[in-house]
Structure 1
Amino acid sequence: MKLSHRSLLGGAFTALAMSMMLSTAAKAEALTVYTAIEAEDLQKYAERFNAAHPDIEVKWVRDSTGIITAKLLAEKDNAQADVIWGLAATSLLLMKSEGMLEPYAPKGVEKLDPKFRDKANPPAWVGMDAWVAAICFNTVEGEKNGLPVPTSWEDLTKPVYQGHVSMPNPNSSGTGFLDVSSWLQMFGEDGGWAYMDKLHENIRYYTHSGSKPCKDAARGEIAIGVSFAFRGAKSKAEGAPLEVVIPSEGIGWDMEAAAIVKGTDHMDAAKTLMDWLITEDAMKMYNEGYAVVGIPSLAKPVEHFPDGILEAMIDNDFEFAARNRERILKEWQTRYDSKSEPKS
């Protein structure tokens, strides 16, 4: 039987309509992902994930650790995020205690170092990488101002450094909070606050970013920036006159971690992202910016990263940090916020 032109055209239009419908259905599913990952890394993270899963779009909501943590807590009863990808483990422990996370064991979770996963089964969160505290010292500014290279946290309280030190505000920055919580653990509650009282005398300003003190030191805007080790190593690799110092008393640290937000309407896509972000490919990507990753056997040395990091990392009590977070931040705010930079 011959088909008429009208029949052929009708069939063509039907096929085109079906094709358009399938194309629309095949459009990428969007996940709203809250993060404190360095802004310069967001595109890379999304592109690497999309190389494996082009059908899922990552829509970033990015700010510093403290601000993202506060935003998530404020949205507790009306969650806007689907996934958290790259936020301090101490923040996720707090959210777990508030019942805000959806437990899920990503594929391959057994490969993670036990420190890099929640103790519950299934875990409420999994770790990606760790960042560690360090001092960024600008050797040019140090020589100009007659400043010796500090070798300890205690050194930073010496009168010679007055007005030459910057560090992150712990209410805004995860790096700032790990500094404060680690000092309280290392020196004891009274000793920790006494130390910060003395350090405050030498602080020129507190920043709202964990990397900014080191970036400022790299540019010569200040001699000493309390920051994290990888930022210092990266700035040094770019030619900045920096020494990255690991203080002799030990260093605080925290994990970047990930979790599914309870109540997401995109559970399958969220699980797919969680599966991918602990794969070997993801770990190798994290290792481009962090020396310590969730699967330690995959970690390769990072240029200019200081020696002795693993030995210097304190036995960090994450439960203490999470349980006392609100109290610590309120006390810090009362004592020291007068020197904080204005929030942008």
Structure 2
Amino acid sequence: MKLKSMLAATTFLVLGALSARAETELTVYTAFEADLLERYAAAFNKDYPDIKINWVRDSTGVVTAKLLAEKNNPQADAVWGLAASSLLVLKSEGMLEPYAPAGLDKLDKRFYDADTPPSWVGLDAWIAAICYNTVEGEKLGLTAPKTWEDLTKPEYAGHVVMPNPASSGTGFLDVSAWLQTFGEEKGWDFMDRLHANIASYTHSGSKPCKMAAAGETVVGISFAFRGAQSKSEGAPIEVITPTEGLGWDMEAVGIMAGTANLEAAQKLEDWSVSPAAMAQYAEGYAVVALPGVVADIPNYPKDVTEKMIDNDFEWAATNRDKILSEWSKRYESKSEPKS
């Protein structure tokens, strides 16, 4: 009887330990595209089956605002798949737990925080582009734009859609890039003239391209991968990379300071920069943090990387509130209703 009792007790302890491990949960805030979440979690769980990811997903601006609102009562354990410019804002507020994930030394140095250890690490880059519907453009007698400046021509009045930078990371990288490329005075002047041609500002970075692909607008200011994907699906669009230069940002990962699940969050960050994770990102991004991991994406513009601006992420983060306040004051009237 003693042996049976001992065996029963041992079994109970083992099962209890396994159960405890299986019940480790991480609340992860993200702006990853919704259709990627299940795939990314499944890939992570192949290596860490004892950690369950509970996603909280929204657009970049909404997630950033939510994290800042929760500063004194954090709800997230980690952030995985949010713009680096947003993580720099969190860093400035002391909200991130510095950590150097395994494999950091193998990443492109442009893709992580300069501090040692870094407060955030970049994963992949998404890059601005124009999605131009050739069929609708021809019907209206329009010429395909080659530059950002072309979009201010009177012929495009009411035929341009772009993301709202307050809610979309893609929108913010556009605005930030224009201010850096043209200078602040000329940048705002450009956006004033562009605004005259804008039909609406969306709350999603991919939506303008989807609208162009569907013929709902002629020009959608979006990002290059979405354009390439839509064209590969048969949409009559051209993916245009304006000659003045392209704004870009990184999806990044970071650990929230004070998390009660620090060890699990560190495992998530370790995995997020692993070759297995980079292979996942490369299915949707032509530029990832680990050199040598590159996908051949059909219809992706060949000149994208050479047109990427020398992006000052620190400047963008420091001036984010001022930029968004000024943008909203000038242009919010054409923003689509929030769902």
TM bucket by the smaller chain? over 0.9
CA shift, 1:26, in A, is 3.2
In 2, distance between residues paired with 1:182 and 1:67?
21
The aligned runs of 1:213-224 (5 Å cut-off) are 213-224=208-219
Give the aligned residue type for 2:144: V
The question of 1:181 aligning with 2:181 is answered no
Cα pair distance change 1:160/1:121, threshold 3 Å: same
CA shift, 1:141, in A, is 1.1
Give the aligned residue type for 2:246: I
Match of 2:321 in 1: 326
Question: Identity of paired residues, percent?
Answer: 61
In 1, distance between residues paired with 2:108 and 2:16?
45
CA contact (8 A) 2:131 2:237 kept: yes
The aligned runs of 1:1-344 (5 Å cut-off) are 14=9, 17-18=12-13, 20-344=15-339
In 2, distance between residues paired with 1:19 and 1:113?
43
CA contact (8 A) 1:36 1:64 kept: yes
In 1, distance between residues paired with 2:105 and 2:99?
13
CA contact (8 A) 2:21 2:51 kept: no
1:17-45 CA deviation, whole Å, 9 max, x = no partner? 44542342232411000000111111111
In 1, distance between residues paired with 2:285 and 2:7?
54
Matched residue pairs, number? Answer: 339
CA contact (8 A) 1:28 1:54 kept: no
CA contact (8 A) 2:98 2:118 kept: yes
In 2, distance between residues paired with 1:10 and 1:286?
51
Q: TM-score, normalised by structure 2?
A: 0.97
Please state whether the residue corresponding to 2:162 is helix, strand or coil: strand
Please state whether the residue corresponding to 1:260 is helix, strand or coil: strand
The gaps in structure 2 that reach 5 residues or longer are: none
The gaps in structure 1 that reach 5 residues or longer are: none
Deviating beyond 3 angstroms after TM superposition, the runs of 4 or more aligned structure 1 residues are 7-20
Cα pair distance change 1:25/1:197, threshold 3 Å: same
CA shift, 1:319, in A, is 1.1
Q: TM-score, normalised by structure 1?
A: 0.96
Please state whether the residue corresponding to 2:22 is helix, strand or coil: coil
In 1, distance between residues paired with 2:242 and 2:193?
17
